Structure formats: C-alpha cells, structure tokens
Chain A
C-alpha cells in the first residue's frame, strides 16, 4: 500500500502561552502529545506519517522559554531560544565561545533561525532506517537494520553501541557538556535540574530515546555556570557538506592552563555514540600534562580505546583520534 508523504496526519494543535499551561497539557495528554519547538525534527516525523500524535503542543508562544539572561551563577538560556540568538549573543561569544561556535555550525542559517537550542539537544536520531519507519530496536522492534553486514552505517556509532547503533546528531550538546551546563526539566513530580551529561542516555539504558525526557516532561532552560567562562575552548565539526549537514563527528573541549600544563579540562565527542561521550579517562590522563602534540597523540589513542567500527564507518576511529588530538594540542585561545 502506498504511503502518503508530505501530508501531515490530522492532530489537534495546542498553543499554550505559559510553561505551566504547556506542562499541564503535556501531563494530561502524556504519550499522546508531541512537543513542537522549532519544528525541524518534528515536521519530518509528521510529514512522513511515521509519528501520528493526537495533539501537538506548540511552544512557540511561550515568551518565558525564550531569551538569554545573565544570572548570579552564570547564564540562563531559555529552551526556545533560537540557535542564531545563541550564536550571536555577545555574552555567549565573550564568555562561552565554545557554545556560540557550536551553535553557528548547526545546519544552515535558515535552520538556525528557526531551530531552538532545546530542540537541538532533544532531537531524535537521524538513522535513516529508523527515520523511515522501519521496526528497528529504537522504534520498539527487535532488530537494528544498520548493524547488519549489508546495512548502510557510515554515519553510525563506533562506541557504546548496544543493539542500536544510531548516534546523537546534536552539535550544541557536546559544547554544553564541556561547559558543565545544567538542564532544567519540568517533570510530573516537579522541577528537576540535571547535569547536561546526564540528560543524554544510550541504548543500554533506553533504546527508544536519546534523552531522559519522559512523556509529560518539558525542558525549560539551560544553565551555564561561570566555572568555565573565558576558558580556552576548542570546537570542531566534521561533516560531508560544509554548508549544511549533521556531524559525522564533532568535538568540544574547555580547558584551563597553568603555565603550559593542562590544569583542568572537559572534553566531549558527539556522533560517535548514541549519546555525547564525555571522555573522562582522557581528561584524567592529560590533566597536569603539557599541552603539546605528544599529549594530544596520547589522548587521541586513549579516546578510541574500545571502539568497534561497523562495516562502513571504520574511518571514524582515526577521525575521532585526530579530533581529540587537535582538541588537546591545538586549542585555540578565544578569550
């Protein structure tokens, strides 16, 4: 039977004006509700008729979810703040350039104008078997079509795969983890603040989601503490088309130096696994070491330990090794 594409299924559009109202709607509709932020992930699902929610809760009318505010402890970014606003914000550029760099490399200017930071970190996997509606593990089935001898898996995971080999496609997520950001989530039980690192989950924890949001939950804001303000940052994204594409892999690091030695560092790689990977072992290994090529080389090798490439993505192993090496030894001074 032919599948009708590009015509969205009927749903009830709900447009709350406040976070409380939105949260009440999400709570009452539960799994029947779909959260619409910038729409760049949502409209693919809806137009392909892979997802057919009963109601769509459009957050675009909630002013309190927008904007970037300085706080005593750092910065608060509303979840509905567009990626362009994040990339262009003077405070972000001055203190947290890592995030502005990451936001600026997301897709194209049009998409950044529409896409939100909350949507960027909460978007779903881009594995085409999954997006095409095949009954794979991530869709609740019992097979990974990408992790088969003939599967097209050039963009898929080399680390932490557990049945599903899809990767997290976000560019801002690794930057936020490197900055030790906190995500504010409105849940059924109340407000919950989680470390950015803990917002993301792999298939070993829940194979159907990339993040911790349950039906009824809402990401409202992202707090960036001053801990890493004006640190030395490095962000690099590798993609097939430099003007507009998801990452084949990206790396984000924040570092402080004492002389030529690495005093503190956080380094995160994304699109290598189903969640952004904070490389804690690399952080431990390079702390106290001089920032040079030797340390970078060692860090790169350590980063890919345990990588299991699939049929068509073995290139990701040297790619990750080199990205980590450059993030350590080739840190740009941005302050």
Chain B
C-alpha cells in the first residue's frame, strides 16, 4: 500500500509529491473510532471520577462564584484559530472528496489568519498568561500513573485535582503544536508556489524532492489535524466538559465545577483577579 504519491521528475528522479489521499479517510475513521470507543467506555465502563485531597477551608471560601478562566483576548484567539482551522480543513479536503469550489484563495487566506493568530499567541501566552500552566508538570505525570494503575485495578490513592488544565488538555495542546506548526511552516513556504499578496512566486526555492517532502508533511499534518479537531469538538460537546467549553465562550467557570475538578493550590485564583484585569495586561494566577 502506498501512503505517498510518487512521480518521476524531469531529471529522472523519483520524488514524493503528495500523501495518498485515502489517508483523509484514515484521519476521519481514526477520529470516529476514538469518539466511539471513548463514548462507549464512559457510558458503560467508567467509574465516577475520584480525587484525593481537599483544599484549605479559607482558600475554598475565597473562591468567587465565577472563576475567571480565559481572558477575552485568549477567547478571541481561540475562536479565530478555530474558524481558520475549520476553513483550512474544509478547503483542503472537500475538493479531494469531490466537493468542487474555488478553494485555494480561501485556503491561503485562512492559513494567513491562522499564522497571524498563532504569532499573537506566541507573544501573548508567555508575557500575559501563565506560560507554564499548559505544560505537563511532575504532579500531572504522577497522577497519570495513578489513574492508569487504578484503571488496571491496582489499589493506589486517587489522583489529585487538576491545575488549570487537565493533563489531557496539555497533551492535546502539545500535539496541536506539533501538527499545527508543521502545517503552518510548510504552508508558508508553499505560498511561494501560488500567487498571493505576500511573496513573489519562486518555484526554484527548493529542490523537487524537498518540495515534495514539504507537501507530504503538510498533508500528514492536515490529516492528523482532521482527527485531532474531531476529538476536540467531541470533548467540547460532552456533557461533563461543557463547563470548560462554556468558559471558552464566557470566560469563567462556576465555583462548583472549579471545586469539583480543580485544585485551588495548583490553580491559584486570587480573589481580586478578574477577567477585566487580565485584559488590562496584568499577570494573574492562571
């Protein structure tokens, strides 16, 4: 089975030119398979979530009714990125499955929007947000091991409550960084092959084989993003995750949900912190 499409260049070299387009369906089916397995597991086999430890009463008492989670800028970034990502996926893959429309212009414009929003995030996250909150820490890994051992039936203490982001969120963010940067990096260079407002066309920028590998990497990242976006949307609409999704719309989550799933010691919600303050550029405890 050929996972790549090959061609013979005018110089007689065998070069990769694309991924094989059946991989689109591999991406879709992988995403669907994950959703079905996960939903089945949760419906029929999963036990009630258990966490160990409780917060100090004075800390819990200080938690406001609405816990600020995402600033307006962070939410705008997320939805701009989501819109451009959907546009990119639909414009990339619908023509390959027979839905024909003028896709190239929409595709590179969406790519430019995504690139701009990611550049914004690269500046915004380290300086205005708590940069390390999205990266797995030692506690996450220890708790992951505990959850795995409990899943396998071993008697170990329950995991602790999450910090601002559960480990799954952090891992998803990491995978999105890998696939997203692959798609963006190759996509920017591929813009040299089409007529855009950004660069003069230059088909001679790289050798045929380098261009071919770039197209392959772009395609693989795109196919991977199909499955990843399907999973992300699935979790976004799951009932137990709805509070997190709502916080991406309204910026806050309820005190009850916060106390149920999050550890105030790991995600410090300062009483004076508010979305407005964060938007004014203050660093808060997220």
Chain A residues within CB distance 8 Å of chain B? 134-135, 139-145, 147-149, 161-163, 201, 204-206, 308
Please determine whether A142 and B193 come into contact, CB atoms closer than 8 angstroms.
yes
Closest residue on chain B to residue A162 by CB atoms: B104
Query: Provided the pairs A205-B101, A206-B100 are in contact, do residues A141 and B201 lie with their beta carbons within 8 angstroms?
Result: no
Please determine whether B102 and A141 come into contact, CB atoms closer than 8 angstroms.
no
In the complex, chain B residues whose CB is within 8 Å of the CB of A143: 193, 203, 208, 211
Query: Provided the pairs A134-B10, A145-B10, A204-B102 are in contact, do residues A163 and B17 lie with their beta carbons within 8 angstroms?
Result: no
Query: When A and B form their complex, what is the total count of cross-chain residue pairs whose Cβ atoms lie within 8 Å?
Result: 50
User: Of A139, A147, A162, A205, which one neighbours B201 at CB under 8 angstroms?
Assistant: A147
In the complex, chain B residues whose CB is within 8 Å of the CB of A134: 9-10
Give complex CA distance A50, B101 in Å. Answer: 28
Q: How many residues belonging to B are interface residues under a CB distance threshold of 8 Å?
A: 25
Please determine whether B8 and A135 come into contact, CB atoms closer than 8 angstroms.
yes
Majority-rule SS of A interface residues: loop
Please, could you name 8 A-B residue pairs with CB atoms under 8 Å apart, sorted by A?
A135-B9, A142-B17, A143-B203, A147-B201, A149-B204, A162-B102, A162-B104, A308-B195
Give complex CA distance A200, B225 in Å. Answer: 33
Give complex CA distance A240, B105 in Å. Answer: 35
Contact indicator per residue, chain B 82-112, by CB within 8 Å of chain A (1) or not (0): 0000000000000100001111110000000
Please determine whether B10 and A163 come into contact, CB atoms closer than 8 angstroms.
no
Give complex CA distance A72, B142 in Å. Answer: 82
In the complex, chain B residues whose CB is within 8 Å of the CB of A145: 10
Give complex CA distance A196, B121 in Å. Answer: 49
Chain B residues within CB distance 8 Å of chain A? 5, 7-10, 15, 17-18, 95, 100-105, 193-195, 201, 203-204, 208, 211-212, 215
Majority-rule SS of B interface residues: mixed
In the complex, chain B residues whose CB is within 8 Å of the CB of A162: 102, 104, 194-195
Please determine whether B204 and A135 come into contact, CB atoms closer than 8 angstroms.
no
Nearest first, the 9 closest Cβ-Cβ pairs linking A and B are A135-B7, A204-B102, A141-B17, A142-B215, A205-B100, A148-B203, A142-B17, A141-B7, A134-B10
Please determine whether B10 and A142 come into contact, CB atoms closer than 8 angstroms.
no
Closest residue on chain B to residue A145 by CB atoms: B10
Closest residue on chain A to residue B5 by CB atoms: A140
Closest residue on chain A to residue B214 by CB atoms: A142
In the complex, chain A residues whose CB is within 8 Å of the CB of B95: 206
In the complex, chain A residues whose CB is within 8 Å of the CB of B100: 201, 205-206
Give complex CA distance A34, B10 in Å. Answer: 26
Instruction: Say how far A160's CB is from chain B's closest CB, in angstroms.
Output: 10
In the complex, chain A residues whose CB is within 8 Å of the CB of B103: 204
In the complex, chain B residues whose CB is within 8 Å of the CB of A139: 7
In the complex, chain B residues whose CB is within 8 Å of the CB of A163: 104, 193-194
Instruction: Say how far A87's CB is from chain B's closest CB, in angstroms.
Output: 34
Please determine whether B10 and A205 come into contact, CB atoms closer than 8 angstroms.
no
Instruction: Say how far B101's CB is from chain A's closest CB, in angstroms.
Output: 7
In the complex, chain A residues whose CB is within 8 Å of the CB of B208: 143
Please determine whether B102 and A205 come into contact, CB atoms closer than 8 angstroms.
yes
Please determine whether B204 and A142 come into contact, CB atoms closer than 8 angstroms.
no
Query: Provided the pairs A134-B10, A135-B8 are in contact, do residues A140 and B194 lie with their beta carbons within 8 angstroms?
Result: no
